[in-house]
Amino acid sequence: MKKLIFSALVATALCLSSCGKDDDNGGGSTSLIGDWYLYSNFNGPNGNGRNWTSSNDCAEKTYYSISDKKIKHEYYYLEGSECKYYPIYYDYTATNGVFNMTVANDSPNVRKGAKTSIKYEMKGKELFIYLKNNQQQEVIEILRKKGVDYSYLDPFVGYWIMTKATVGKTEVIVKEGECLQGAVVSSSIGFTLYLNFPEQNGQCKKTINTYEWVKEGNKYYNVTDPQNKEELALVFSENNTKLSYSTPSDNGLVTIYLTKVK
């Protein structure tokens, strides 16, 4: 990760000289019963490897309404510029971390009686659902219950947008429409760094890299390669809404600055 940030931001510089009281939502913060909305997912639908992504405005409308015997999947997806609605209702049982589901008679879509099973897991107050994509890779959807406070999660968890970068004394501001852009999508088990930067030949290079991370004490580590654990020098400020990452390089201290979106 250091090497990527070094090369990206050095090239740029040279070129451009969230625990309060919970609303139980009908079942308590750790109960399956309630309405669960999509917060982030780990997927690779374009064949470019699996990455963490934050739900877009359309996907944020998607939620699972879970009662004792029924799951209503109120599904929204983006097709071109249009947000489309495709609900599916299931009768279900939950056994040993598996939803065994049958498309209900009142479901408006999909063949009635069709059966499927998906794995699930509660991690803290988040619901993890494990699916398969078209390439038969495992997809992880992280759901959060409406009305539940998630401020207990580590402040690194969330969606961050890069606002500027510095290499030594050179500062570059991120501007809309220009090449330099960056974002971090972080879950409790991994994060993806999206970084676009101008190369010395004038081309805009786009990179996407995904890592696993852990926190030990007050320090963060990249543990993607267990044999080469690397400390992540993350510094939070302004009530954990600002984040910077700094590391030395041959061209001076490299720092990227990000603001939390959600």
In degrees, rounded to 5, the angle at the alpha carbon of residue 208 between the alpha carbons of residues 207 and 210 is: 145
pLDDT band, very low/low/confident/very high, at 29 (cuts 50, 70, 90): low
Predicted confidence at residue 47, as pLDDT, reads 54
Residue partners of 150: CB distance under 8 A and separation at least 6:
18, 125, 126, 144
Distance from C-alpha of 229 to C-alpha of 209, rounded to nearest angstrom: 16
Q: Are residues 38 and 139 in the same domain?
A: yes
Domain CATH for 38: 2.40.128.280
pLDDT band, very low/low/confident/very high, at 198 (cuts 50, 70, 90): confident
Query: Is 19 a domain residue?
Result: no
Q: What percent of the chain has pLDDT over 90?
A: 55
- pLDDT, mean over the chain: 84
In 3-state terms, what secondary structure has residue 71?
Answer: strand
Residue at token pair 């998607």: 62
Q: Are residues 190 and 94 in the same domain?
A: no
Q: Are residues 163 and 141 in the same domain?
A: no
Boundary-marking domain end, from 145, 173, 200 = 145
pLDDT band, very low/low/confident/very high, at 135 (cuts 50, 70, 90): confident
Query: Is 3 a domain residue?
Result: no
- Provide the domain count of the chain: 2
Please determine, for residue 121, whether its predicted confidence score (pLDDT) is greater than 80: yes
Q: Are residues 118 and 166 in the same domain?
A: no
Amino acid identity, position 77? Y
Please determine, for residue 99, whether its predicted confidence score (pLDDT) is greater than 70: yes
Predicted confidence at residue 235, as pLDDT, reads 95
Residue 11, H or E segment: helix 2-16
Domain CATH for 196: 2.40.128.20
**Which of 8, 9, 43 shows the shortest CA–CA distance to 210?**
43
Query: Is 26 a domain residue?
Result: no
Residues 56-67, mean pLDDT to the nearest whole number: 87
Predicted confidence at residue 251, as pLDDT, reads 74
Query: Is 1 a domain residue?
Result: no
Predicted confidence at residue 49, as pLDDT, reads 66
**What pLDDT digit, counting tens, does each position of 206-234 carry?**
988 899 999 999 999 999 998 999 999 99
Distance from C-alpha of 259 to C-alpha of 164, rounded to nearest angstrom: 10
In the structure encoding, which two tokens stand for residue 169, read together? 């004394």
Q: Are residues 182 and 124 in the same domain?
A: no
Enumerate long-range contacts of 246-252, CB under 8 Å, 24 or more apart. Answer: 247/2, 247/5, 247/6, 249/6, 249/10, 249/167, 250/10, 251/10, 251/13, 251/14, 251/167, 251/168, 252/167, 252/168, 252/169, 252/170
Q: Which domain holds residue 54?
A: 34-145
Query: Is 207 a domain residue?
Result: yes
Residue at token pair 């998906």: 118
Better-scored residue on pLDDT, 98 or 249: 98
Its sign, for the CA torsion 31, 66, 191, 116, is: positive
Distance from C-alpha of 234 to C-alpha of 249, rounded to nearest angstrom: 16
Predicted confidence at residue 167, as pLDDT, reads 83
Boundary-marking domain end, from 145, 168, 188 = 145
The strand pairing partners of 214, in sequence order, are: 221
Q: Are residues 164 and 228 in the same domain?
A: yes
Q: Are residues 177 and 211 in the same domain?
A: yes
Q: Are residues 42 and 136 in the same domain?
A: yes
Query: Is 167 a domain residue?
Result: yes
Read off the pTM: 0.79
Predicted confidence at residue 181, as pLDDT, reads 92
Predicted confidence at residue 137, as pLDDT, reads 78
Residues 200-206, mean pLDDT to the nearest whole number: 86
Q: Are residues 140 and 164 in the same domain?
A: no
Predicted confidence at residue 16, as pLDDT, reads 39
